[in-house]
Structure 1
């Protein structure tokens, strides 16, 4: 039985979407394709397929041995230079070298998987042949993200000091400029009667873009805002259950796992109007571009009436599109194609 060797160091940095995507994809293949492939993790001996989830230099060095052993090499693209630009504050020389290395890694593998079709053209801009690029979306398991009972939710609201009748807006992700934290805070200030929670912290510490400014905000947020710090993935479903909607004003993304997690709980999602979202979220999300847009849309949902139900239904329709069986079928087709 062919071996898929999954290689990743995402566990070294907590609170990042790459780790969540890795966990979900590996579990999906381990369980769903168990009769076709054996999955190994971080094994130096190449498998029939070496699937790189992160671009560590040690993995780059292993590409040569993988080719010698006849393995097909696959890179899972979770970021490109554009998405790093507003995430980490790096010296110009280091940044230039890192970006060049990133693209070199992608060019060196046999196949590439992107989680958003928008980035096929982005990679082409860097001279990567689009014929070796395949789009397979992220997905989340309903065993991990699902709606609790009313009693459980009530208990969690007490635990997190959230009033039972409060309308709760949830943001998820690393605390960094790219995630639109400053807009998140400004919107919260305009809506003092609504509770705002941001789940995430400084995964990269002082290297985070805007670290000093954002650290002050995290330490002294407005009275209706809570920053939880880095939350373990096992605890994230608790926060989705006590929240009424997700608000993620990021300036750049690929395909945030947090959006899929929110959709699995039938929670309306409000995002910045970015070019990359329509291809993956269709018309299932609310979008805006200014503080006024965001304020108006949150206000339209807070009574949880007909408008709220419409966007909840839209969220669920999108979740159903990214079902486990559909995404599993795409992975099977992709891996099987390497033996033909």
Structure 2
């Protein structure tokens, strides 16, 4: 004889019914969640690059990297969407601002892949703004939280990949190395720029000019740079770039206030002016203490200006001393004197000419190659077109839907100093 058994029913939680209803509503309200049907081969992707708070990074290296990404996307024939309320197939997130995790969550709702760019690390946050060293561990936990929101993480160098691969970042998603790149058709040698640069700065035609570019931070080496300028009064030192005075540390404010007369700070300039300066300078002196790549160095090498840099791990490995750049190691009281001695030798022509090798290396990370590598990242991440929608216009709903013919990366010009 069989006994009737009663199945044990799991208590239904009150929120489960609401969650199912929400999921059903999302499927009907957001039809773009499903893959496109009958998609033609080579159908362009809609790449979301949200503006939002990213405009705050416009004058930084992250801002330059975002412009380079947009150029690469367009050169592949894809479309750039700036409004997250418009349909998109993949999202690029670059900034460590509070809206980044919100947009990542929104992409999850739409079931779209998230590519998270790891431009920053705990190491390069140090020696930046007032209180940065004390906040560095907290900043690392925040960016690690952001990077873990990505289906894939993209970082500009093997060095930075090694840093974020540390257990303290807790990243389990695939990490790809993709250079931020340089537009070598825009940044190219121009001997005629020498006279124009000196005229714009009010200098005599035979003046010796040494250039540096970046935000005015301790990490960027501005304290050592000012001291080198003090030791070489016969050379004009020009620093392009600026930082809000409220974000300057006390020692940087003091260095700027007491800088010698041969140290000039023109501030933020256009890309055209920056290119003129690279091409017209006698040397590029970049004394940064920490970088994940450093776009400005690639730009300088593309313009065939002799480069002297601090021998940080990234540059020792990627741009070896005596091969692509000349380097000076150290960070103590004698560092500025060593730099001044090496710089004097470089300006006197006593060091090996590496400009041609630097130009070839910059061409290896041209935006055209970056675009091809980005397309491969799309492929391995599973990025694909979704359900067809009507063609976007350039101003529809705040979206940007521009397209360039393949390999038109060189036609788009960057517009800011990093």
Per the normalisation by structure 2, the TM-score is 0.73
Distance 2:186 2:132 in 1: 39
Distance 2:84 2:369 in 1: 28
1:300 to 315, 334, 345: 345
- Note closer, same or farther for the CA distance 1:129–1:101 as it changes in structure 2 (3 Å cut): closer
1:101 to 137, 142, 146: 142
1:23 to 45, 67, 74: 67
Q: What is the DSSP-based 3-state SS (H/G/I as helix, E as strand, rest coil) of the residue aligned with 1:165?
A: coil
Following superposition, the deviation at residue 14 of structure 1 comes to: 4.7
- Note closer, same or farther for the CA distance 1:59–1:24 as it changes in structure 2 (3 Å cut): same
Following superposition, the deviation at residue 324 of structure 1 comes to: 3.1
2:367 to 324, 334, 339: 324
- Is 1:202 equivalent to 2:243 in the alignment? yes
The gaps in structure 2 that reach 5 residues or longer are 1-43, 330-334, 384-418
Q: Which has the larger radius of gyration?
A: 2
Conserved? CA contact 2:184–2:363, under 8 Å: no
- Is 1:262 equivalent to 2:308 in the alignment? no
Distance 1:295 1:45 in 2: 54
User: Which 10-residue stretch deviates more, 259-268 or 63-72?
Assistant: 63-72
CA deviation string 1:80-114 (max 9, x = no partner): 11111111223788655443221101112111000
Conserved? CA contact 1:2–1:48, under 8 Å: yes
Conserved? CA contact 1:15–1:231, under 8 Å: no
Q: How does 1:212-251 map to 2 (within 5 A)?
A: 212-251=250-289
Q: What is the DSSP-based 3-state SS (H/G/I as helix, E as strand, rest coil) of the residue aligned with 1:108?
A: coil
Following superposition, the deviation at residue 174 of structure 1 comes to: 0.5
Conserved? CA contact 2:289–2:310, under 8 Å: yes
Following superposition, the deviation at residue 46 of structure 1 comes to: 5.7
Following superposition, the deviation at residue 42 of structure 1 comes to: 4.2
- Is 1:113 equivalent to 2:154 in the alignment? yes
**Who is 1:189 aligned against?**
230
Conserved? CA contact 1:46–1:69, under 8 Å: no
Conserved? CA contact 1:154–1:164, under 8 Å: yes
- Note closer, same or farther for the CA distance 1:61–1:93 as it changes in structure 2 (3 Å cut): farther
Q: What is the DSSP-based 3-state SS (H/G/I as helix, E as strand, rest coil) of the residue aligned with 1:61?
A: helix
- Note closer, same or farther for the CA distance 1:230–1:307 as it changes in structure 2 (3 Å cut): same
Higher relative contact order (CA 8 A, sep 6+): 2
Aligned residues: 331
Distance 2:346 2:137 in 1: 44
Conserved? CA contact 1:15–1:232, under 8 Å: no
**Who is 2:95 aligned against?**
54
Q: How does 1:35-50 map to 2 (within 5 A)?
A: 37-45=78-86, 47-50=88-91
Distance 1:267 1:58 in 2: 39
**Who is 1:132 aligned against?**
174
**Who is 1:81 aligned against?**
122
- Note closer, same or farther for the CA distance 1:241–1:329 as it changes in structure 2 (3 Å cut): same
Distance 1:271 1:87 in 2: 19
Conserved? CA contact 2:221–2:289, under 8 Å: yes
Distance 2:226 2:55 in 1: 29
RMSD: 2.3
Q: What is the DSSP-based 3-state SS (H/G/I as helix, E as strand, rest coil) of the residue aligned with 1:277?
A: helix
Q: What is the DSSP-based 3-state SS (H/G/I as helix, E as strand, rest coil) of the residue aligned with 1:75?
A: strand
Conserved? CA contact 1:30–1:38, under 8 Å: yes
Distance 1:278 1:331 in 2: 26
- Note closer, same or farther for the CA distance 1:175–1:91 as it changes in structure 2 (3 Å cut): closer
- Note closer, same or farther for the CA distance 1:123–1:258 as it changes in structure 2 (3 Å cut): same
Following superposition, the deviation at residue 233 of structure 1 comes to: 3.3
CA deviation string 1:255-304 (max 9, x = no partner): 1111011011101111111111234324311110222331222111213x
User: Which 10-residue stretch deviates more, 171-180 or 271-280?
Assistant: 271-280
Distance 2:308 2:132 in 1: 34
